[in-house]
Structure 1
Amino acid sequence: METWVLITIAAAFLQNVRSAMQKHLKGVMGTTGATFVRFGFGLPFALLYLALLWQAGHALPVPDGTFLLWATIGGMAQIAATFLLVHLFSFRNFAVGTAYSRTEPAQAALFGLLFLGEKASSGAVVAIAISVVGVMLISVARTTLSIRSLVTSVFSRTAGIGLLSGTLFGLSAVSYRSASLALAPSLPAPDYLMQAGFTLGFVILLQTLAMLAWIVLREPHELGRIRRAWMPAALVGFVGASASFGWFSAMTLQQAAMVKVVAQVEMLFTFAASFFVFREWITRLELIGSLLIVLGVVMLLVP
């Protein structure tokens, strides 16, 4: 199995753990605070990763204007996408609340084509489509299944928020790949670990400063809530930074859309967390939808 696939599966598992922790934090702080925790408490760990790589002999890259542009776009898009995803927890259960954003691979493929000229094979397009169908089934699993319910679910407020979240996640994924690749010319040789680590360190620092400024100016009461929950928040930061390092590494090695299709296995981890941790029951259609997601991943990986 290729390196980027193993890294992606590990990152998907860690991201699911982080999301489950964020849902618990949502009960003790607002959406903004729960979103900030992912970045602010992940910053020390991201910088530690970068320092360890440098100490291990990896050369530091020299960022240029292209890197700064894409890293900034990706960082701001991810903040907005994460905010919307955390907000979704208020609408439906943990498993389904995250499902609407799973059109991210298809949208990442589109952004990859528009900005990087990356083309997906016909087999990859079919795999992405099957995964998206699985997501649609999950989104209507708790309603009467019909053409009308499918259309209604797509145009509902909850679906709209989820789809926008997926769009922003797709944009951020392609932006991060662009930023990481832009560092290669300044290195003695391509080094996906350092390219990913440097991009992660820069982006998470930018995100932390931007969100901290917003909280101080607009929601200062969140600072007290964040401080009181510093222990679970630190754990969220560590797990989130570890997952992000995996994502950045995988997307340096492979097209963002391909990485995001494999990342759909997170839905399996999500259902497990939904059932075993949050005691939320899973419907038959949700199981079928998850199987379609897995089928899409298998189709992508099997020649």
Structure 2
Amino acid sequence: MITSPIWLPATLIAGSVQAWRTAVQQRVRATLSVNAAGLVRYLFGLPVAWLLLSLYEGFIARDPFPSLGAMFLPYAAAAGLAQILATNLLIMAFGYRNFVAGTAYSKTEALQGAILAFLLLGEVLSPLSWLGILVGIAGVLILSLGGKHVGFAGLVQALGDKAAICGIASGFLFAMTSVAVKGATLQVATPDKVQAALIVLATTVFLQTLMQGGYIFWREKDQFAKIVHSWRVASQVGLLASLGSACWFTGFATAPVALVRIVGQVEVIFTLAFAHFYLRERLTRSEAMGLALVAIGVILALLGSGLR
């Protein structure tokens, strides 16, 4: 059940900010390891996440800080770990193919998220929204092929390459992140869903900094000096990551996870724009067709939701 109309603008903003953050993070990846490139979004995003929560608590929230349920920390930790692994796999997918293809494969999370949300949260979508998912996935597959004309056998083969495996696995873990975030927000005893979302964000980013920072301290200590050296770009990644996550978490708290992920496919549109203008990657005719299908899928999903 959708509880607030804020979910739609929050999701659209999240998609645009995440595409921007991913493009900047791709620059960091040139000098950092996969794990270090993932850490910068949490390490530099942590102050932003806590600042957002502090400002909201100080100037907007009407009720005192709410109590947290017994499952709050387990859900937040599960969301944090799933997002760390998903981000690492997405960065690896970029290395095997390119920025656009890696992001396109990960956007299968819309379908995976809808299935997981139905199985784990009991969220039900209308037939029109399911049609929107399938149309959007078709657009994603066209984008992932990079203009190649292949039959069914060729498509199956393409889905077996390393970029596809990493991207699709990334999408699954991002879908798991969404479900865990939703579970964590339900453990926050407040009717203010934005407040709940920011509490989950601040906690999750803190746990992620500890988890991935601890791993790098254990296995890749040399990366800390490189992170400090690249602080100018890395801090941009952190800022954008926390702003984007604040919007994503708000969407998850106020609407069905599956619907948020479907509409979140607009990130692919922003991704292609950043790839073309920021990373100087060329836009092909097939990519334009894929974009059109993604846009149609989002529109169908919104119509199926009643535009609530």
Alignment match, 2:55: 52
**TM-score of the superposed pair, with normalisation by structure 1:** 0.95
AA aligned opposite 1:255: P
Partners of 1:45 and 1:277 in 2: CA distance: 24
| Per-residue Cα deviation, 1:224-281 (whole angstroms, up to 9, x for no partner) | 1001011211111111100000000011000111001111111111111111111111
Alignment match, 1:28: 31
* Cα deviation, residue 12, structure 1: 0.8
| Per-residue Cα deviation, 1:108-149 (whole angstroms, up to 9, x for no partner) | 111111211111111111111111111111112343322222
AA aligned opposite 1:207: Q
Secondary structure class of the residue paired with 1:124:
helix
Partners of 1:61 and 1:108 in 2: CA distance: 28
Please say if residues 143 and 149 of structure 1, whose CA atoms lie closer than 8 Å, have aligned partners that are also in contact. Answer: no
* Cα deviation, residue 98, structure 1: 1.1
Note the residue ranges of structure 2 that are not aligned, 5 or more in a row: none
Report whether the alignment pairs 1:259 with 2:260.
yes
CA RMSD of aligned residues (A): 1.3
Alignment match, 1:215: 216
| Per-residue Cα deviation, 1:80-120 (whole angstroms, up to 9, x for no partner) | 00010111111122111211111101111111112111111
Q: 2:91 aligns with which of 83, 86, 93?
A: 86
> Equivalences for 1:144-223 in 2 at 5 Å?
144-183=149-188, 186-187=189-190, 190-223=191-224
Alignment match, 1:102: 107
Alignment match, 1:61: 66
Partners of 2:293 and 2:204 in 1: CA distance: 33
Please say if residues 147 and 285 of structure 2, whose CA atoms lie closer than 8 Å, have aligned partners that are also in contact. Answer: no
Please say if residues 71 and 175 of structure 1, whose CA atoms lie closer than 8 Å, have aligned partners that are also in contact. Answer: yes
Secondary structure class of the residue paired with 1:281:
coil
Please say if residues 140 and 149 of structure 1, whose CA atoms lie closer than 8 Å, have aligned partners that are also in contact. Answer: no
Alignment match, 2:138: 133
Secondary structure class of the residue paired with 1:89:
helix
Secondary structure class of the residue paired with 1:182:
coil
* Cα deviation, residue 34, structure 1: 0.7
AA aligned opposite 2:32: M
> Equivalences for 1:69-80 in 2 at 5 Å?
69-80=74-85
| Per-residue Cα deviation, 1:33-53 (whole angstroms, up to 9, x for no partner) | 110001111000100111111
AA aligned opposite 1:45: V
Alignment length, in residue pairs? Answer: 299
Report whether the alignment pairs 1:268 with 2:269.
yes
AA aligned opposite 2:78: I
* Cα deviation, residue 285, structure 1: 1.4
Percent of paired sites with the same residue: 34
AA aligned opposite 2:124: K
Secondary structure class of the residue paired with 2:27:
helix
Regions of 4+ moved over 4 Å: none
Partners of 1:86 and 1:159 in 2: CA distance: 12
Secondary structure class of the residue paired with 2:146:
coil
Report whether the alignment pairs 1:14 with 2:17.
yes
AA aligned opposite 1:149: G
Partners of 1:267 and 1:5 in 2: CA distance: 17
Partners of 1:86 and 1:65 in 2: CA distance: 34
**TM-score of the superposed pair, with normalisation by structure 2:** 0.94
Note the residue ranges of structure 1 that are not aligned, 5 or more in a row: none
